[in-house]
Amino acid sequence: MKKKLTRREFLQLSAMAGAGAVLAACGPTPAPQVKEVVVTATPVVKKPVKLTAWFADRRTINIMTQEMMKAQFEVRYPHISVEVMFVPESEIPAKMTTAYAAGLAPDVTALDEMQLAGLMEQGFVHPIPDGLIDVRKEMGDRIADVYKVNGKYWALPNGNMPQVLYVNLDLLNKLGYKLADIPSKWDDFIKWAKGLTIWKGDEIKQWGYTWVGAPWVWLDYAYQKRIFTFKNNLTLLD
């Protein structure tokens, strides 16, 4: 049988319950939860670009270009795709003329050094835009100076063709020279070699210096003098 509460007992219980509610409401406030927010910069989306490049059709150059240069370039610049076309070197000038007239000239092309001056004269090639590449930093002062014409870079080397200077030791010994006596600078070397050259009328009996199998090597002298040797495919510069 339930005990019936008196008015006084009911009020006492109500007051105790109310006090408990107030104490609970005034208890310690739990610490707010902090959520870490990572802010990342919005990547700059570059407009896709497609370049067309012509290269001389040589097996070693083809392999290096297709498997190394093209792949490394596209990894470095993922927004740029490169279409590589291999063209026989002797056909490039004629193809450039036709392609340029049709507005389809490649963005980049490989050229023999002797072809460059003629295409420059006709306006088919343009200087490398300023700021595109720091030539002196990438290739060194020596190469940069050779390929700079009228204050602009028109071409950059796509490889090197090494040359070997053979010495006739028997002739040096006969003339009383040692290897250390051979001048190391071209101007001095040419003067020294002329002194060793013996003429008999219009015929050379002893060469101080000659080219064997590579007559185009004389282009190197012109490049070292900061000049091109050909005005076009038929005419030499004065």
Name the residue ranges covered by the structural domains of the chain. 49-110, 169-213
Q: How far apart are CA 53 and CA 105, in angstroms?
A: 9
The pLDDT confidence band at residue 124, using thresholds 50, 70 and 90, is confident
Residues contacting residue 223 through CB under 8 Å, at least 6 positions apart: 113, 146
Task: Average the pLDDT over 177-204 and give the result.
Answer: 90
Q: Which of 174, 169, 165, 178 is nearest to 211 (CA)?
A: 165
28-to-17, 25, 31, 34 alpha-carbon distances in Å: 19, 9, 9, 18
49-110 fold: D-Maltodextrin-Binding Protein; domain 2 (3.40.190)
The two structure tokens encoding residue 162: 């090494």
Tell me the pTM. 0.50
The pLDDT confidence band at residue 173, using thresholds 50, 70 and 90, is very high
What local confidence, expressed as pLDDT, does residue 64 receive?
79
Element (H, E) at 93: helix 92-101
Percent of the chain past pLDDT 70, that is, above it, reads 68
Q: What is the mean pLDDT of the chain?
A: 75
Percent of the chain past pLDDT 90, that is, above it, reads 13
Residue 195 burial (CB count, 10 A): 10
Residue 79 burial (CB count, 10 A): 11
